[in-house]
Amino acid sequence: MKRSLLILLTMTVLAACTSMPTPYQPAVGSRWGYEENQIESNRFRVSFGGNSITERETVETYLIYRAAELTVEQGFDHFEVVERNVDSETRYIGGDPYDARYRGFYVHYSYYHPRWGWRGWYDPFWDDVHTREITRFEASAEIVMGNGPKPDHPRAFDARDVMANLADEIILPTPE
């Protein structure tokens, strides 16, 4: 009884962990979270990858927030987005449960229905196919940092303003 309860509790905890969007965190040991690579003294490549529950808008918000945070950490005032990209990875789960089980050899059954006659393996009333689409987003940007007043063009951001304006949208990981 105790073992069954422990297994059920463990499965519940794991299900809860996988049903949460990726929080704003470094991607240490996983693909989920932010990473940065220094290219030059004031140029970085920043990326944020979310799990399949993290929305595209959240991934892009976390990317810009990380760029602003990194700019302040490096002692600069503003940054300019030189290049920006959002990649998506889509996969489908589900489908016909017999397909994988009987792959490699042919299994067939048929039955007679008074209204439609003889029916075979794929019957519209018996073979429901449920497929779920799962999309994961990863955003990346190359940024150039600078000091002084922010340049007057749409690709330039004041780092402290970005952090102040987006702070309410940032969800940090829960402490364990």
Tell me the two tokens of residue 2: 């105790």
> What was the pLDDT predicted at 31?
81
Determine the Cα–Cα distance for residues 112 and 157; give it in Å rounded to an integer: 70
> What was the pLDDT predicted at 102?
47
Per residue of the chain (176 residues), give pLDDT as tens.
Answer: 555 554 544 444 444 445 789 999 999 888 899 999 999 999 999 999 999 999 999 999 999 999 999 999 999 999 999 999 999 988 887 655 445 444 444 444 565 667 766 655 554 555 555 677 888 999 999 999 999 999 999 999 999 999 999 999 999 888 76
> What was the pLDDT predicted at 103?
46
> What was the pLDDT predicted at 74?
96
Nearest to 157 by CA among 78, 85, 44, 82: 78
Please, what's the largest Cα pairwise distance for the chain? 83
Determine the Cα–Cα distance for residues 86 and 89; give it in Å rounded to an integer: 10
DSSP assignment letter at 29: S
How is the beta sheet containing 43-49 ordered, strand by strand?
A: 33-40, 43-49, 130-146, 78-95, 156-158
Tell me the two tokens of residue 166: 């987006």
Dihedral sign (CA 97, 54, 156, 73): negative
Tell me the two tokens of residue 96: 């016909």
Determine the Cα–Cα distance for residues 26 and 49; give it in Å rounded to an integer: 10
**Which residue bears the tokens 């402290």?**
160
